[in-house]
Amino acid sequence: MGKKTTQTQTSQSGNYAYDYLKGAFAPTVASGNDAGSAIMTLLGMGGDPTAQQAAFQRYLDGSGYQFALDQGTRAITGTAAGRGLLNSGATLRAMSDYGQKTGMSFFDQYMNRLAQQQSSGMAGAGLIANAGQWSKSDGKSTQSSGIGGILGPILSLAAAIPTGGASLSAGAGGMGGITGGLGL
């Protein structure tokens, strides 16, 4: 009779650098989380006015805004005083416009820096997550040789041959049905 052969193959793949990457990028992920929290607090999303005020003060202290505002205000008042227009409406308007533009510009820059740090944290988290993926597969195949192993594929091919309307529906077990299907 025929011979039956079975093959089993196991495959496993993954990134052995996961532990290293997790340790190396953990600070980046943490600072990204901190930046996200700072954005939310600064925008008042936590519902705590005291925390929001503290976040705004960190912005004022850490962005260079106050220094730029002071320098610009001194320049405007110095120029206006030299012209004798220190207390004029034009000077007050110039100071107001400068303060608003400076505030918007520095706030946008501060928020962008926080958002960039948050993005870096998310990228680090993604890198760690991708490095931690593993895959494993077990495959098994069985092959038979001898008349049974040969006859099956031959009959499958024969069934696929166009017969011009004839039927091979009986398969190998009903050869008598072929003559009926051929109209003989």
For 129-151, how does the pLDDT look when each residue is reduced to its tens digit (9 = 90+)? 888 777 777 776 655 555 555 55
pTM, two decimals, is: 0.59
Whether residue 103 contacts residue 65, with contact meaning beta carbons closer than 8 Å, is answered with yes
Q: What is the number of residues in the chain?
A: 184
DSSP string of 113-125, one letter each residue: HHHHHHHHHHHHH
**What pLDDT score does 172 carry?**
45
- pLDDT tens per residue, range 157-173: 555 566 555 544 444 44
DSSP string of 15-41, one letter each residue: -TTHHHHHHHHHHHHHHHHHHHHHHHH
* CA distance from start to end of the chain: 36
- Residue extents of the structural domains in the chain: 15-134, 146-181
Whether residue 123 contacts residue 16, with contact meaning beta carbons closer than 8 Å, is answered with no
- pLDDT tens per residue, range 32-86: 999 999 999 999 998 899 999 999 999 998 889 999 999 999 999 999 999 999 8
